[in-house]
């Protein structure tokens, strides 16, 4: 019988390492654009921080997965922490001296995104070696709860520190990265892929994770619909709510309430997940999340009240978080050891690639059709996604461990011909989530 997670020394160190890094990253996520706005007075340049970060993440996500499968993962995490510490310390010194060049700010934003693309897959690869398979769902939920708590607290603390002195959020982040490095260095477990076939960044290596996911119909369908499609539509829904209930920018109370409810719902889901074993009910949770999102869009269109929008968004995020934890924990168990990093990165890439377009689509619909019809049209997109995951044959039969290990092949000797619900692994993250699970904040996002 495996020891409880609270007695797993290496897991506790990984949890603490992520807490220090995520909390500091969330502070700088707010402080970086504020710093640019203070230095230049240009909202366009402040927005460029987020653009550089998101672009860097999308470009480096697949190569980051390859690195996580080629280098001993604990060592790779230490290198990432040291790299992050170096650039953040340089920015802290520049801000303290009274001037931070825009080029340095963009370098910090881009470097942080690139390092996060490598760090995230390495974390999950190492966690697979640290945590027994039967405890993976609980471990993933605890990581999610930690991250969501940091996302609630970090921006508030970062904003308060920035008000005292602009260098303070970055100084605290540097301290957090130093503590994170120490925690990772104390981890005893090692995790390295068994094989190193092929050139490091060959086309085959870069696409290995996507190929693995695409070869299994269940993974392909649920990830594309629940991950990519729902992320896009839910992004449009929440941005529409933020804009519509902020009275055209005259008041931030209604929109702020909606966004706070989204964060609170994600935290609630992460806290609930360990109690219900979400990996055993993954299909039900995915379907329920999709239809609740449809109902939420209808409620917002009909009632047009911030309270209703906030509560419905919180419910969507709560369900989505529980479902995502179930899928992610199962994926970590079924994915072959030598492909964990690439599969995680590929799932994150598919889930993230269109997510930045959601707010743009929501804003366009709101401008052309008004709030009620914008909510209705987004609800229609959500309904199509819900119908697919409810009735598509590939989404109704979960993949078995044999299917994941031998996609497209017939059952081998002793393998069951029937797919057992709850036995599969899929990364399908829901609204507001990405599958890579990188805990690092993307500055400006």
Q: Token digits for 7?
A: 């007695």
pLDDT, residue 291, reads: 93
In this prediction, residue 438 carries a pLDDT of 43
Please report where in the chains the tokens 């690639």 appear, as a residue: 353
pLDDT at 179: 93
351: CB partners within 8 A, 6+ apart: 223, 227, 228, 231, 427, 429, 433, 434, 435, 436
CA distance 117 to 57: 6
Residue 432 pLDDT: 59
Predicted pLDDT at 426: 34
For each successive 10 residues of the chain (445 residues), what is the average pLDDT?
A: 77 90 83 80 71 80 85 88 90 89 86 85 85 82 83 81 88 92 89 62 80 80 82 83 65 68 85 80 85 90 84 90 82 75 82 76 83 88 90 72 49 29 37 50 42
pLDDT at 277: 77
Tokens found for residue 117: 């693309």
**What pLDDT was estimated at residue 407?**
52
pLDDT digits 0-9 by tens, 269-309 = 888 888 887 777 778 888 899 999 999 989 888 887 888 88
Angle at CA of residue 129, ends 126 and 135, nearest 5° = 110
């Amino acid at each position: 019988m495996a020891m409880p997670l609270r007695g797993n020394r290496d897991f506790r160190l990984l949890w603490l390492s992520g807490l220090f890094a995520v909390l500091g990253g969330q502070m700088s996520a707010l402080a970086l654009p504020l710093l640019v706005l203070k230095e230049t007075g240009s909202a366009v340049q402040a927005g460029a921080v987020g653009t550089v970060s998101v672009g860097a993440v999308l470009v480096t996500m697949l190569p980051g997965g390859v690195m996580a499968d080629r280098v001993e993962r604990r060592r790779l995490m230490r290198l990432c922490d040291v790299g992050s510490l170096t650039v953040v310390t340089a920015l802290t010194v520049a801000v303290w001296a009274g001037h931070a060049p825009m080029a340095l700010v963009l370098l910090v934003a881009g470097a942080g995104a690139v390092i996060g693309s490598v760090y995230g897959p390495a974390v999950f690869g190492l966690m697979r070696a640290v945590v027994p398979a039967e405890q993976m769902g609980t471990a993933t939920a605890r990581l999610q709860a930690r991250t969501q708590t940091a996302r609630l607290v970090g921006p508030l603390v970062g904003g308060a520190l920035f008000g005292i002195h602009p260098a303070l959020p970055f100084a605290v982040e540097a301290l957090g990265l130093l503590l994170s490095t120490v925690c990772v260095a104390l981890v005893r477990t090692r995790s390295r892929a068994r094989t190193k076939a092929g050139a490091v960044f060959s086309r085959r290596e870069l696409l290995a994770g996507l190929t693995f996911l695409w070869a299994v119909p269940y993974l392909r369908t649920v990830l594309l619909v629940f991950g990519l499609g729902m992320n896009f539509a839910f992004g449009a829904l929440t941005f529409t709510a933020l804009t519509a209930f902020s009275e055209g920018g005259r008041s931030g109370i209604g929109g702020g309430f909606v966004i706070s409810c989204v964060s609170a719902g994600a935290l609630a889901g992460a806290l609930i997940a360990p109690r219900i074993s979400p990996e055993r009910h993954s299909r039900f949770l995915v379907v329920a999340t999709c239809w609740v999102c449809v109902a939420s869009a209808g409620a917002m269109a009909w009632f047009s009240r911030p309270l209703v929008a906030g509560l419905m968004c919180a419910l969507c995020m709560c369900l989505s978080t529980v479902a995502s934890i179930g899928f992610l924990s199962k994926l970590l168990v079924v994915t072959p050891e030598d492909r964990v990093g690439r599969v995680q990165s590929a799932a994150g890439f598919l889930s993230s690639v269109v997510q930045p377009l959601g707010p743009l689509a929501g804003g366009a619909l709101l401008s052309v059709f008004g709030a009620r019809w914008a909510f209705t049209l987004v609800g229609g997109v959500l309904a199509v996604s819900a119908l697919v995951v409810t009735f598509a044959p590939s989404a109704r039969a979960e993949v078995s461990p044999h299917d994941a290990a031998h996609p497209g092949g017939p059952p081998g000797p002793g393998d069951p011909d029937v797919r057992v619900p709850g036995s599969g692994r899929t990364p399908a993250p829901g609204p507001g989530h990405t599958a890579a699970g990188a805990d690092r904040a993307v500055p400006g996002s």
